[in-house]
Amino acid sequence: MGNLIGSLRYKEPSTVEECDSTWESDSECDEQPGDEDCGISECVSPPLTGRCGEQFSDSSTKMKRSFYAAKDLYKYRHSYPNYKEPRLPNEYRNLRFYLNTIPLIPDVIFIEEILTKWKGDYDKLEHNHTYIQWLFPLREQGLNLYAQELTQEEIKEFLSTREAKRRFLLAYTLMLDFYGIKLLDKIGNVTRASNWQERFQHLNESQHNYLRITRILKSLGELGFEAFKAPLVRLLLDEALCRGTLPNMLHSILEYYVYTIRPRSLRRRLLRYAQQHYQPANTFLWGPPARRRGAGAGPGPILERRSGGDPIGLIIR
């Protein structure tokens, strides 16, 4: 009923600005104390050569933000305000798949086989394009027409089923390993995996995986792991922006990944950090609109590196 009422009031946004509420309240009063690091662990490999922002590019290239991306992520963050439940009976296929009672279609593979036999099989994870919609379901249709969209009722059942959530977290760990990242704990802290150099080199040249990561982030939020998003996005942002290991991913991080995060305060923190290091500085598109800058607005918190050159840990003052 809530979604029905919401859909009656829903007004389709027509500009990027209407889609982006990140800077509506450009203050820190709604930010939680003690979360300065956005959940990122300090257990990260030492910085590579190079300095923040050095790798960036020709200011003569005029870029604009994507309205398609902004609108898509606006709908996601607002729980699909014009979403209509499928007419077909709700078969809870996503939940049943995660309970290991049905296989993914069309490959007829059970979740336990993926979790136990696919880890480290990077060729299979790279070249098979049917599993990702089953591992990370959404309330939107993907490329695998056999995968069923999530429904609100199925999400409720999933969130109350410990076995499904346990396997979902293992699936997330599987994909992080594929990307050269390690999950450190049960609250979402992440770091480089031991094979990060090889995997980052692959990821930097494998842009279809950028779409997969958008899907993974969205699915984390749908299935009870919203808090896991910011640590992953923060790590990827630092690798792309400051360490120069994932430069090809930077635009996807700023245009898509940051905007999967629902709390505005976390989006602001990530974007402020990016803005401080982005080069050329005058081409940064994701900061507060010009009308909200100026006298009285203040520059926002100053983010410093912690001792030891760790580019992940931040002090906000």
Tell me if residue 211 falls in helix, strand or coil: helix
Asked if 152 contacts 3 with a C-beta cutoff of 8 angstroms, the reply is yes
CA 168, CA 115: separation in Å to the nearest integer? Answer: 10
Alpha-carbon distance 88 to 134, whole Å? 18
d(CA 141, CA 272): 33
pTM as predicted: 0.82
Q: What are phi and psi of 141, to 5 degrees?
A: -80, 135
Are residues 142 and 133 in contact, defined by beta-carbon separation less than 8 angstroms? yes
- Considering Cα of 248, then 39, then 131, then 200, what sign does the dihedral take? positive
Q: How far is CA 1 from CA 8, 58, 76, 85, 157, in A?
A: 11, 50, 18, 11, 18
Residue type at 150? L
Tell me the sheet residues that pair with 316: 303
**Rg value, the chain, Cα:** 20
* Residue spans per domain, the chain: 2-316
Residue with tokens 């991913």: 249
- Tokens 């494998």 map to which residue? 206
Buried b (16+ CB within 10 A) or exposed e, 153-186: ebbeebeeeeebbebbbbbbebbbbbbbbbbeee
Residue-by-residue pLDDT tens, the chain, 317 positions: 445 544 456 678 899 999 999 998 755 444 443 333 343 343 333 343 445 655 444 443 567 899 999 999 999 999 998 877 766 667 899 999 999 999 999 999 999 999 999 999 999 999 999 999 999 999 988 777 788 899 999 999 999 999 999 999 999 999 999 999 999 999 999 999 999 999 999 999 999 999 999 999 999 999 999 999 999 999 999 999 999 999 999 999 999 999 999 999 999 999 999 999 999 999 999 998 775 454 344 434 333 333 333 334 332 22
